[in-house]
Amino acid sequence: MAVDYLWQSKGQVPPVGVSLKTEHLAHVLNARPAMAFFEVHAENYMTKGGAHHRYLEAICEHYALSVHGVGMSLGSAEGLDPAHVDRFRGVVARYGPVLVSEHLAWSVQGGTYLNDLLPLPLTQESLRVVSANVSRLQDAVGRAILIENPSSYLAFKASEMPEIEFLTRLADATGCGLLLDVNNIYVSARNMGFDALGYLDAVPAALIGEVHLAGHVVKDIDGIKLRIDDHGSRVCDDVWGLYERLVNRVGPKPTLIEWDTDVPDFDVLEAEATKALARMTAKVHVHA
């Protein structure tokens, strides 16, 4: 499935946005920064009312919105939680976002929600499970969604295929698109010892509906350096390099700066978004 949006017309630069955090709601509404879109986590808006809804409704009068799920547990063999699906559908119906996405991960077992995005073995069986769950979610919201590649800290011996093959086959089976997180590719490649450039170059361009960029932290664990995808700092130079390579190969794509921990002043996020826009603009001008 080729993910197509109005802003992908010839010569037009796709939008760049940032995560919309509680700390910045009033600033965004009052200052009206030059931002193309904002992204919110669906789970933060699954209640019927409250100040956060009032802010978001007002902000959506001026900006496009991306809804990003973090708790659907698409890898759960027990299937999706009907109540969670219904709440997710309600958020999408209420706000009509331009982008809707979730993760290749699981986080629910026996009705217990775990506060993490846990990995799954990349097998034929897992592919059938995730495909069924993605199809169910898409049927519920009435549209195709984007699936994000995870950050990896371990690998399963049972895995039968590379991650990008799994995601591509998932897209073929369900009609979903890909939310390509470049920072996650870098983190996973450094942790697991695979070639980040090879992964990046294998991604089918037509499947990419959105790109995520974020910072990460390096921790020393028993003498081993482990990169943790914490979304708590600026995008590092190596990830910017991967992003430039991606844009050079597939062209500009809607891009989001993620920042979820140690949230700084809004101008820091805006500066990161400006960097991404400059890289996309240069690509469009070269091929104009």
pLDDT along the chain (288 residues), means of 10: 38 79 96 94 95 96 95 94 96 97 87 77 97 98 97 88 96 98 96 94 96 92 85 94 96 94 96 94 56
Q: What is the pLDDT of residue 203?
A: 96
Q: What is the pLDDT of residue 6?
A: 38
Q: What is the pLDDT of residue 177?
A: 98
Which pair of structure tokens corresponds to residue 51?
Answer: 């100040």
The model carries a pTM of 0.91
- At position 263, the amino acid (one-letter code) is V
Q: What is the pLDDT of residue 283?
A: 64
CB 136 within 8 A of CB 85: yes
CB 253 within 8 A of CB 17: no
Q: What is the pLDDT of residue 228?
A: 83
**Tokens 């789970």, located at residue:** 43
219 has which bridge partners? 226
Superfamily designation of domain 6-286: Divalent-metal-dependent TIM barrel enzymes (3.20.20.150)
Q: What is the pLDDT of residue 194?
A: 92
Q: How far is CA 255 from CA 44, 183, 216, in A?
A: 21, 12, 17
